[in-house]
Amino acid sequence: MSKHANVILEARDIHKSYWLGQIEVPVLKGVDLEVVEGEFLAVVGASGSGKSTLLHVLGALDTLDQGQVTFEGVDVFAADESYRNQLRNRRFGFVFQFYHLLPELTVLENVLMPELVGSSVVAWLSKADRSEETGMALLEQFGLAHRAHHLPSQLSGGERQRAAIVRAVMNQPVVLFADEPTGNLDATTGRQIIQVLMNLHRGGQTIVMVTHDQEIARTADRTIRLTDGRTRREG
């Protein structure tokens, strides 16, 4: 298979601006990007360079002003909203800097949430037990089985981020997006989280990670720098 055939996610000439009242603030000014199946891609750049915005657009979490994002040959923003919902539920997984776990739910319930959201009530009732087993097995794999019935507020930062990773991979996504996954953690815990992502990558997981930390970016297969709203390949 040629390299081009392995490109699963592609961004072409992405433009995105924010509005501060009447003032337009351009963030992305023509970003081009390709994500190859199975690779670990790091997007680096200074604070405010638009890294997170790019990740949100690639992950269909946010809209774009101009350009095209293609996933497995489908123009993501030309398709309807339900397609993007399905992408976020079944094909993409997200890990955020601030974990973003639902505070009233236990770790296991958080992990099962993508499965619940993607199912009808009838389908969920028929597979709830099986999903719970899968969730527990994943928590076991990530060393969180003993925390399954705890609330996120009872967990340490590293445990919360691991729980967020388990939730992100629950539906076996094609691409895992990580937005500054170590940004809210101390150095040691941050390294552990990167190790978790590396292990997932070794298992074949495609990962797109945004970070401002050059050392963390070096763990990726390929790094892209975002400067002045445009991408530049580093290695």
Partner 1 sequence: MMILFGIISIVTVFMVLCVFYMIVVEKTRDIGILKSIGASATQIALVFLAYAGVIGLVGSLVGSVLGWRVVRSINEIHDWVVQVFGWRVWDREVYVFDLIPDQVKFEDAVNIVIVATAASVVGAIIPAIRAARMNPVEALRYE
Question: Does residue 56 touch partner 1 according to CB under 8 A?
Answer: yes
Minimum distance from CB of 28 to partner 1 (Å)? 13
Determine if 101 is a binding residue for partner 1 (CB under 8 A).
yes
70 lies in the binding site for partner 1 (CB under 8 A)? no
Contact 44, 217 (CB under 8 A): yes
- Regarding 136 and contact with partner 1 (CB under 8 A), the answer is no
CA atoms within 13 A on the CB side of 64: 26
Check residue 71 for interaction with partner 1 (CB under 8 A).
no
The one segment of 84-92, 137-145, 183-191, 220-228 that binds partner 1 by CB under 8 A: 84-92
Residues 34-53 interacting with partner 1 (rule: CB under 8 A): none
Which of 6, 17, 68, 86: binder of partner 1 (CB under 8 A)? 86
- The interface region with partner 1, picked from 33-41, 88-96, 145-153, 206-214 by CB under 8 A, is 88-96
Interface residues toward partner 1, by CB under 8 A: 56, 61-62, 81-82, 85-90, 94, 96, 100-103, 113-114, 117-118, 167
